[in-house]
Amino acid sequence: MSATYEVINPANEQSVKSVDLADLAATDKLIEMAHKAFTSWKKIAPGDRAKLLRSFAQVVSDHREELAALEVTNAGHTIGNALWEADNVANVLNYYSASPERLFGKQIPVANGVDITFKEPLGVVGVIVPWNFQMPIAGWGFAPALAAGHTLVLKPAEYTPMTAMRLGELALKAGIPEGVFNVVHGDKVSVDSLLTHPGIKSVSFVGSTPIAKYVYETGTKAGKRVQALGGAKNHMIVLPDADLDLAADAAINAGFGSAGERCMAISAIVAVEPIADKLIEKITERATKIKTGDGTKGADMGPLVTKVHRDKVAAYIEAGEKEGAKIVFDGRKVVVDGDGFWLGPTLFDQVKPSMSIYQEEIFGPVLSVIRVKSYDEALKLVNDHQYGNGTAIFTNDGGAARRFQNEVEVGMVGINVPIPVPMAYFSFGGWKNSLFGDSHAHGTEGVHFFTRGKVVTSRWLDPSHGGINLGFPQNT
């Protein structure tokens, strides 16, 4: 180990734990451990591997309160959100526990022979996850990988590693063999090792778009299969016929939940006139009731993850103000007792598409209202944006909703649903600069990403078929 990293509680700026930061040698050692374990792990009978995944899910459920407490302390989440995250890991493991026994191939009989196709694991895989949702996003990677017969190295973000490290311990407790589930706490050195080491066959990544692009380009250049999910700027279109109370509730929940630190957060509200003033009024009424504070003490919204990130989001608010957007309420004025990386909810009106607060991913509790005159103008805004992760439309018009779902160029769409995050049996991922590669995370696409096909053509010849024939094989 080359150094240590001080993990900080963002709600009080106190040290949580000093954790070793892996150097290249330590990262490579874990990859080698995973490589040694792969041969035996992939040979475990599908039914037995399924039982181990179910055991892992149960152990996670048994430790949900402990995992949630770690996430609150490490990442600043509220306890309710953190409990959901722990439950999501168990749910995804339970879903994929059915996969090992259902990785069916095909048998195609031909004259005097048979063709067989089946799915195989690739080998050792890397799973690189962001700091905002360590547990569920890690589960989206390691659950399908384990189900398909891979061993893995999980790399959490440097400053929020606690739940990932604990999940590695719980995997052993559940009976997952040593070397199958490995966790490396490292920085870019570890990332680059996972992307270039010949022992790693595929990499699953979730994070910002610049890093996702780097991961995809570096990993594929090294001959690896890569799925890299990037950033977002999720629009919520509100049509004039929408239930404005429902839309205002959705804007608050999707914009300020998890302090806006999630790739499915709504950050751009596209209000089709004449409803903007009324919608802003309703959002403002609700925002005044949000309690910002320590997630262990009944707060609705916790701190931002680090001081650097808090200052970055505050700088976006300052930039929006300088560029001419109108601040309806300002999160920089929030008052919370004690230390911490605090920023309250912020709402902008009169935002223009040229402004940085519209163009760029802020990843904080900042909502922007863009006023438009028609559905077509609203749709064009969404489709013209560089990101295409998630979007939503609020309307009571079924025809408009159907048109939107067919015309919008975004990977995940909500109709009167502000955060269209799919369950484990559907895949997660966006379009455009929100995804690099052609495979989404978890769901059936997760299984496809972590397997490769093999075709076996066999024939057991009758002696009468002997002799020399320099032509091509014939299926007759």
State whether residue 53 is helix, strand or coil. Answer: helix
| CB distance 31 to 193 below 8 Å | yes
User: What number of H helices and E strands is found in the chain?
Assistant: 15, 20
Alpha helices in 78-208 (DSSP H): 79-96, 134-148, 162-173, 188-196
Q: Distance between CA atoms of 43 and 34, rounded to whole angstroms?
A: 14
Residue pointed to by tokens 């459920």: 61
Choosing from 75, 174, 259, 263, which is the catalytic residue?
263
Using alpha carbons, list the distances in angstroms from residue 451 to 10, 101, 444.
39, 14, 11
Q: What share of the chain is helix, strand, coil (3-state, %, to 5)?
A: 40, 25, 35
Q: Distance between CA atoms of 380 and 383, rounded to whole angstroms?
A: 5
**Degrees, nearest 5: CA angle 79-206-330:** 55
Q: CB-side exposure of 319: number of CA atoms within 13 Å? A: 17
Q: Centre a 10 Å sphere on the Cβ of residue 122 and count the other Cβ atoms it contains.
A: 20
Residue pointed to by tokens 């050792």: 124
Angle between helices 188-196 and 209-221 (to 10 degrees): 40
User: What are the residues whose beta carbons fall under 8 Å from the beta carbon of 15, sequence distance 6 or more?
Assistant: 6, 7, 8, 9
Q: Distance between CA atoms of 119 and 96, rounded to whole angstroms?
A: 15
The encoded tokens of residue 380 equal: 């064009």
Say whether 263 is catalytic.
yes
Positions annotated as catalytic residues are: 263
